[in-house]
Amino acid sequence: QVQLVQSGGGSVQTGGSLTLSCVVSGVTVSTICMGWFRRTPGKEREPEEVATLFNGGGRTFYTDSLKGRFTVSQDNAKNTVYLQMNNLKAEDTAMYFCAARFVCGEDRQYLYSEFGYFGQGTQVTVSS
pLDDT of residue 46: 87
pLDDT of residue 42: 78
Residue 76 one-letter amino acid: N
pLDDT per position as a tens digit, 89-113: 999 999 999 999 998 988 888 999 9
**Number of other residues whose CB lies within 10 A of the CB of residue 22:** 29
Element (H, E) at 6: strand 3-8
Query: CA-based Rg of the chain, rounded to a whole angstrom?
Result: 14
- Exposure string for 53-80, b = 16+ CB within 10 A, e = fewer: bbbebeebbbbeebeeebbbebeeeebb
Residue 15 one-letter amino acid: G
State residue 67 phi and psi, 5-degree precision.
-60, 140
pLDDT per position as a tens digit, 9-54: 999 999 999 999 999 999 999 999 999 999 998 777 889 999 999 8
Whole-angstrom distance, CA of residue 112 vs CA of residue 48: 7
pLDDT per position as a tens digit, 63-77: 999 999 999 999 999
Whole-angstrom distance, CA of residue 117 vs CA of residue 31: 14
